[in-house]
Chains A and B, each alone.
Chain A
């Protein structure tokens, strides 16, 4: 059974750096073809893909946010960490992590709401 869970602060101040951790079970990020991605969704708005890291440490970032994002993995801990710098109120959203396979974003975490406010 594959599960993922996002953790991190629920409130950050403008200009701060957000660090989110995705802790997963039921699969290994050392398995060929597997990845973990991050997606966010502002309240009442659409999904937005942020970043993705694969088993071989290949990383992809949303072109519009690339300068602010860093994704890393710790295979031994079954964790993927996303950092986003220079947070702004428009970054207020529910942040999801998801297991990635050839099928796509196959399994999702429950999401964590991050509010950016002073």
Chain B
């Protein structure tokens, strides 16, 4: 079945680098997009395609992919990066799915 798997929680020391991963069979064929969601707010697209950032997203956010795993890397994490992060992809039928989300804590 199509699903995307994320670690429920990850922590990082302020200023350090953290990688958030997403696993799923659809990622072998389609890129993931990544969304940041802060409490009480709508999600925000932070990475899409091979490694593209929408306008206004800091360049400390980057994306990569290998096999069935997509990764979101934050290089030099800031306090404001503390949020939930969701991956999203489509499958061969054109249906979309989201991962279960990763809660990032910046220590």
CB-CB nearest in chain B for A54:
B94
Can you give 21 A-B contacts (C-beta < 8 A)? A46-B98, A46-B101, A47-B37, A48-B98, A49-B96, A49-B98, A58-B94, A60-B93, A62-B95, A63-B95, A102-B49, A103-B49, A103-B52, A104-B33, A105-B33, A105-B35, A106-B54, A108-B42, A108-B44, A109-B42, A110-B42
Q: What DSSP secondary structure best describes chain A's contact surface?
A: strand
B24 at the interface (CB under 8 A from A): no
Q: Which residues of A contact B35 (CB under 8 A)?
A: 47, 105
Q: What DSSP secondary structure best describes chain B's contact surface?
A: strand
What band does the interface of chain B fall in when counting residues whose beta carbon is under 8 Å from A? 20 to 34
A39 at the interface (CB under 8 A from B): yes
Residues of chain B from 47 to 75 with CB closer than 8 A to chain A in the complex: 48-49, 52, 54
Q: Shortest beta-carbon distance, B2 to chain A, in Å?
A: 8
Q: Which residues of B contact A47 (CB under 8 A)?
A: 35, 37, 43, 86, 88, 98, 101
Q: Shortest beta-carbon distance, B20 to chain A, in Å?
A: 14
Contact surface of A with B, Cβ cutoff 8 Å? 37, 39, 46-49, 52, 58, 60-63, 96, 102-111
CB-CB nearest in chain B for A62:
B95
A65 to B101, CA, bound (A): 21
- Could you give, for residues 1-28 of chain B, a 1 whenever the CB lies within 8 Å of some chain A CB and a 0 otherwise? 0000000000000000000000000000
A68 to B96, CA, bound (A): 17
| One of A49, A96, A108 near B97 (C-beta < 8 A) | A49
B45 at the interface (CB under 8 A from A): yes
A62 to B35, CA, bound (A): 19
With A61-B95, A63-B95 known, 5 other A-B pairs at CB within 8 A are A46-B100, A47-B98, A60-B93, A104-B45, A111-B42
Task: Given A46-B101, A47-B101, answer yes or no on A106-B95 (Cβ-Cβ < 8 Å).
Answer: no
